[in-house]
Chains A and B, each alone.
Chain A
């Protein structure tokens, strides 16, 4: 059974940092592109970033470029999102999601349950 379990969310002050993790199981993690998607309270879905199987390609939404870094450790079947210089508008539930073997084609067929990040003083 495919499982994605996020962790690392919490309350952080504006300008602070947080590192999210996503533990994957039930599939060959190293064979898939992976993404982070967020959802602000009461708002819609917003794609944040994705990463190729070997980490050699990464893409980000403009609003997080230069502040967030996506990475992965295939030996640990884990996906990460390092978030720096956090702003109030980064407050959201962050989901990790599995894409397919190829960038920009396959849908997000599995999602984690999400972890809440709150940026507030």
Chain B
């Protein structure tokens, strides 16, 4: 089955830029979605189709996807961005297609 690899943790100072990666075999050929989850809350979609932002998500959130790595970039990081972030793709390569999530990355704002 398809595997998505995320770093367990990323730390960044307020006002700086955080980059969270999501690695997968030829992930650039797939559409990647990103979710933010704060403690005790349901996940929230922050980036879809690699780089689109849902309404209500700040422009500070952006995404890219190429080759074997997709990246979620958060510019001018704020304390409120501290959360777990998950990437997601649809894997239709096998005889039983399914959704796959990355293991998640905990973003810590220093």
A: residues with CB less than 8 A from B are 35, 37, 44-47, 50, 59-62, 95, 103-109, 111-114
**Is B86 touching A44 in the complex (CB atoms < 8 A)?**
yes
Residues of B participating in the A interface, judged by any CB pair closer than 8 Å: 1, 31, 33, 35, 37, 42-45, 48-49, 54, 84, 86, 88, 90, 92, 96-104
In the complex, what residue of chain A is closest to B89 when comparing beta carbons? A104
Cross-chain pair count, CB within 8 angstroms: 60
A59 to B31, CA, bound (A): 19
Instruction: State the CA gap A50–B96 with chains docked (Å).
Output: 12
Report Cα–Cα, A44/B7, bound state, in Å: 13
Q: Please, which residue of chain A has its CB at the minimum distance from the CB of B84?
A: A44
A61 & B98 in contact (Cβ 8 Å cutoff): yes
Q: Which single member of B44, B54, B101 contacts A46 (CB below 8 Å)?
A: B101
